[in-house]
């Protein structure tokens, strides 16, 4: 019996979600995933009713994610941009709830790729925490947990480590603000894999099982044993997911920086990676 629920990010197969990509849900189920992560980057094209029905028919769960952009940056100096960011995040929460999901996470605390002219100031942290506090209160009424995903220094100036994500979550003061770790980013920013995983486990809502080169888990430098030890020792029984890219759409090329094939196909990468991680889970969780 698995202690974890394995999701796959829809970006494994598409760079843009719409009703045309609904068959991804069935494809994920055939490979053996328990859930599908729906991207909300283009909310106008997200049909929550259609997604909910398709997922129910397939027997899979759902979660959602996004990344704020320059026009929705909740740390921006311009109040109107911060307000646009707040409205966008609340809309994402509603889409998440409407499709029957309960976890919405990602780079929701500042603009992806954003830069400042030095170290982040207290004002950046305060603005981010203030916005996420409002989003969390809205999300609580919809039965949604929001997750802060640390990403590497080249993708954000604000939250690069699990400790920083925990700090920001605590600054909001809201119990439904959680942490979403990602092994790809941890491989760049953390000094080890076990400690941040164990520390975040009580507040964890999701974990991207992304290899150091975003290829097949087990084929890079991520210490998966230490991650699973941290999850097991921390008593985590929740959502984890594969976020890997092989069939990269041109619109995603610059964002993912995938310039070579990392597997024969997305299906092959995901099948092999899922088998590797499930086998490791059985060894580590049964050890506890």
Do the beta carbons of residue 101 and residue 109 sit within 8 Å?
A: no
Give, as one character, the DSSP assignment of residue 240. Answer: E
Q: Which two three-digit tokens encode residue 167?
A: 């700090």
90 is catalytic: no
149 is catalytic: yes
* Marked catalytic residue, from 37, 189, 211, 243: 243
Would you call 51 helix, strand, or coil by DSSP? Answer: helix
Residue 244: C-alpha distances to residues 52, 54, 156, 202, 263 (Å) = 24, 23, 20, 26, 10
Q: Which neighbouring-strand residues pair with 227?
A: none
Angle (CA) 159 243 124, round 5°: 15
Element (H, E) at 275: helix 266-287
What whole-number distance in Å separates Cα of residue 146 and Cα of residue 203?
11
Put residue 249 in one of left, alpha, beta given phi > 0 → left and psi -120 to 50 → alpha. beta
What whole-number distance in Å separates Cα of residue 186 and Cα of residue 61?
26
Q: Which two three-digit tokens encode residue 97?
A: 């709830």
Residues contacting 188, CB < 8 A, separation 6+: 152, 153
Residues contacting 268, CB < 8 A, separation 6+: none
Do the beta carbons of residue 195 and residue 227 sit within 8 Å?
A: no
Residues contacting 287, CB < 8 A, separation 6+: 232
* Marked catalytic residue, from 149, 155, 174, 211: 149
* Catalytic residue annotation: 149, 243
């Amino acid at each position: 019996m698995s202690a974890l629920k394995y999701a796959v990010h829809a970006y494994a197969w598409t760079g843009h979600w719409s009703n045309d990509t609904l068959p991804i849900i069935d494809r994920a189920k055939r490979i053996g995933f328990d859930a599908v992560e729906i991207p909300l980057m283009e909310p106008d094209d997200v049909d929550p009713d259609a997604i909910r029905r398709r997922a129910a028919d397939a027997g899979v769960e759902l979660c959602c994610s996004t990344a704020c952009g320059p026009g929705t940056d909740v740390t921006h100096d311009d109040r109107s941009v911060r307000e646009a960011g707040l409205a966008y995040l609340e809309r994402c929460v509603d889409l998440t709830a409407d499709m029957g999901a309960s976890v919405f996470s990602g780079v929701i605390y500042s603009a992806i790729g954003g830069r400042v002219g030095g170290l982040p100031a207290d004002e950046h942290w305060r603005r981010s925490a203030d916005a996420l506090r409002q989003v969390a209160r809205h999300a609580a009424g919809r039965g949604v947990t929001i997750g802060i995903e640390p990403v590497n220094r080249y993708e954000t100036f604000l939250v690069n480590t699990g400790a920083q994500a925990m700090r920001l979550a605590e600054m909001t003061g809201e119990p439904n603000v959680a942490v979403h770790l990602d092994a790809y980013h941890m491989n760049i920013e953390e000094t080890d894999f076990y400690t941040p995983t164990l520390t975040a486990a009580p507040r964890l809502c999701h974990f991207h099982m992304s290899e150091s080169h975003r290829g097949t888990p087990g084929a890079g430098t991520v210490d998966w044993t230490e991650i699973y030890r941290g999850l097991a020792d921390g008593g985590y029984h929740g959502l984890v997911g594969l976020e890997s890219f092989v069939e990269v759409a041109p619109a995603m090329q610059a964002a993912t920086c995938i310039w070579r094939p990392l597997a024969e196909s997305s299906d092959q990468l995901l099948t092999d990676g899922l088998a590797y991680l499930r086998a490791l889970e059985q060894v580590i969780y049964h050890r506890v």
